[in-house]
Amino acid sequence: MAKKEQLTFLCGKCGFESRKWLGQCPDCKKWDSMTEQVKTNARTARRAPGKISTLQKASTKELQRLVTSISELDRVLGGGIVPGSLVLIGGDPGIGKSTLILQLLSALAGNNNKVLYVTGEESEQQIKMRAERLSIEDEQIFLATENCVESIIAMATELKPALLAVDSIQTMYSEEVGSAPGSVTQVRESTSRLLTHAKTSNLPVILIGHVTKDGSIAGPRVLEHMVDTVLYFEGDRGHIFRILRTVKNRFGSTNEIGVFEMKENGLSEVDNPSALFLAERPQNVPGSVVLPSVEGTRPILVEVQALVTSSSLGTGRRTAIGADPQRVALLTAVLEKKIGVTLFDQDIFLNIAGGIRIDEPALDLGVIVALLSSLHERIVDPGVVVCGEVGLAGEIRAVGQMEMRLGEAQRLGFHTFLMPESSAMQLESLPSTNMKIIGIKTVQDVVTHLFVAR
Ligand code: TYD
Ligand code: MG
């Protein structure tokens, strides 16, 4: 086949490709990030047409999932690993990705499957030490230290494992690409080779990828569209909780989370995350309230904390951890306008306890209540949970899955639920609940219902 060499320029940050050099990447707007790449393009030959089926006849038989029996992991994967699928597990360095993968491999090997673990960053001894710490000694876990994808594919072809894990994709290179390992081109090319192999041999592949805070190194973000499933392993290194979150899943729902605890001897599953997240909640202090949040198909109670203090500077700072700072700024503005409190000269700190991140709008009411509680130094009854979206006019809007939230709050012994009025009306028809439900319409109602008596 005739080969044609072609010069292209590639952005080192986002992978944008251009035929000519540009000072600024038109896609991610980074300056001076385009570098020259030589791309060898095989001229497309005329091919015989591929096989065509009909939708009706297409089979789903191959979707026999590989169940890991780590239920938190199976949950985020949508019920196990699909054969021939490419799963990317991303996360900050040191968060526990290699630990998770080793435990996953051990779970699969325990079911009498051969599994192959290829590492490009650690030595055999390091892996062995980790395995000893985790008390993993399965015979069926095969180990290789290798950086070349072509060689990895050859190994997998020979061994025929039930699963291949590659740790990490940033350390891999393909012989057919000229640039250095870790560059966008190499990461993308290596993934594409593993993808082709996964699809043709029906071998599921798990890739580990480091995410860097500034995203400057070729991160897994450029790979998200190539792989079938993207999971992010999150958590604060100072906390023991680790959350595995589905960001993309071609074979299941997104927004699922799996909760783990990082212990001395590895990650252990958390079956009752609400109890864990509320374990250290201070009782009877202002600025704290509990929110029944729903992550995917599961309710989790979390504590929303706020600290409002007068600023030593003229204008207050706003800091939010575990919540969207923009959203907090918006809610602050709503409070100023609708309740008439003065916040511009106050420093506002908002935190979701335990290092979990909440993205759903139901958090709004929790933020409002925590802020007011701290500002007025009024304690919210520790048996109260709140949830609801807050609009710009100060109206409290309905959020979904209220029954699930109610059930979880009741299970953990809460007695009162402050919620949007429309949701309260729907829940009234519910046969058995011994929780007191208070429906509210506006942010002013929060003040009347929660902070009446001093
Ligand atoms: P690791 O899996 O190496 O992280 P990654 O692959 O994401 O870089 O785990 C790193 C941290 O986890 C390390 O700081 C030590 C801690 N750890 C435990 O607390 N308990 C354990 O059993 C193991 C294996 C690691
Ligand atoms: Mg690692």
pLDDT for the residue 452:
58
Q: Which CATH architecture has domain 276-452?
A: 2-Layer Sandwich (3.30)
Hey, how many other C-beta atoms are within 10 angstroms of the C-beta on 148? Answer: 15
Which residue in 293, 323, 318 sits closest to 307, CA to CA? 318
pLDDT for the residue 45:
54
Spell out the residues 6+ positions from residue 155 whose beta carbon is closer than 8 angstroms to its own: 116, 118, 144, 146
Model-level pTM? 0.78
Nearest CA to ligand 1 atom 16: 96
pLDDT for the residue 41:
53
Q: Which atom of ligand 1 is nearest to the CA of 237?
A: 14
Average of per-residue pLDDT values in the chain: 87
Query: What spacing in Å lies between the alpha carbon of 294 and ligand 1's midpoint?
Result: 28
Contact 412, 445 (CB under 8 A): no
Query: What spacing in Å lies between the alpha carbon of 94 and ligand 2's midpoint?
Result: 7
CA distance 27 to 42: 27
Spell out the residues 6+ positions from residue 51 whose beta carbon is closer than 8 angstroms to its own: none
Mean pLDDT of 245-253: 87
Higher pLDDT, 13 or 319: 319
pLDDT digits (tens, 9 = 90+) for 278-314: 888 888 899 999 999 998 778 899 999 999 999 888 7
Which residue in 452, 415, 297, 440 sits closest to 364, CA to CA? 440
Which residue in 292, 303, 331, 275 sits closest to 416, CA to CA? 292
Q: Tell me the β-bridge partners of 436.
A: 416
431 pLDDT higher than 70: no
CA distance 298 to 257: 8
Mean pLDDT of 181-206: 91
> Closest-lying ligand to the alpha carbon of 234?
1
Cβ < 5 A residues, ion ligand 2: 98
Spell out the residues 6+ positions from residue 182 whose beta carbon is closer than 8 angstroms to its own: 170, 171, 217, 218
pLDDT for the residue 1:
43
Hey, how many other C-beta atoms are within 10 angstroms of the C-beta on 404? Answer: 14
40 pLDDT higher than 60: no
DSSP per-residue codes, 184-195:
HHHHHHHHHHHH
Please tell me the class of the 71-270 domain.
alpha beta
CA distance 337 to 342: 9
Query: What spacing in Å lies between the alpha carbon of 85 and ligand 1's midpoint?
Result: 26
Nearest CA to ligand 1 atom 14: 94
pLDDT for the residue 292:
96
Per-residue DSSP letter, 87: E
Nearest CA to ligand 1 atom 1: 96
Query: What spacing in Å lies between the alpha carbon of 347 and ligand 1's midpoint?
Result: 36
Q: Which of 89, 95, 99 to mutate to test the pocket of ligand 1 (most atoms within 8 A of CB)?
A: 99
57 pLDDT higher than 50: yes
pLDDT for the residue 213:
59
Mean pLDDT of 8-18: 80
93 pLDDT higher than 50: yes
Per-residue DSSP letter, 52: -
Spell out the residues 6+ positions from residue 437 whose beta carbon is closer than 8 angstroms to its own: 406, 416, 417, 419, 424, 427, 428
Query: What spacing in Å lies between the alpha carbon of 191 and ligand 2's midpoint?
Result: 18
Mean pLDDT of 394-417: 92
| 46 band by pLDDT with thresholds 50, 70 and 90 | low
229 pLDDT higher than 80: yes
Query: What spacing in Å lies between the alpha carbon of 167 and ligand 2's midpoint?
Result: 7
Query: What spacing in Å lies between the alpha carbon of 138 and ligand 1's midpoint?
Result: 20
**51: which 2 tokens?**
């096989």
pLDDT for the residue 212:
65
**160: which 2 tokens?**
């025929």
pLDDT digits (tens, 9 = 90+) for 254-287: 778 888 999 999 999 988 888 888 888 888 899 9
pLDDT for the residue 307:
96
CA distance 150 to 376: 64
Q: Which atom of ligand 1 is nearest to the CA of 100?
A: 2
Per-residue burial over 227-248, b = 16 or more CB atoms within 10 Å of its CB, e = otherwise: bbbbbbbbbbeeebbbbbbbee
> Closest-lying ligand to the alpha carbon of 94?
1
219 pLDDT higher than 70: no
Nearest CA to ligand 1 atom 18: 264
> Closest-lying ligand to the alpha carbon of 97?
1
| Ligand 1 pocket, CB under 6 A | 91, 93-99, 130, 133-134, 262, 264-266
DSSP per-residue codes, 372-425:
HHHHHT-PPPTTEEE--EE-TTSBEE--S-HHHHHHHHHHTT--EEEEEHHHHH
- Environment class of residue 152 by beta-carbon count within 10 Å: exposed (0-12), middle (13-18) or buried (19+)? buried
pLDDT digits (tens, 9 = 90+) for 115-171: 999 999 999 999 999 999 999 998 899 999 999 999 999 999 999 999 999 998 989
Mean pLDDT of 64-84: 90
Nearest CA to ligand 1 atom 10: 94
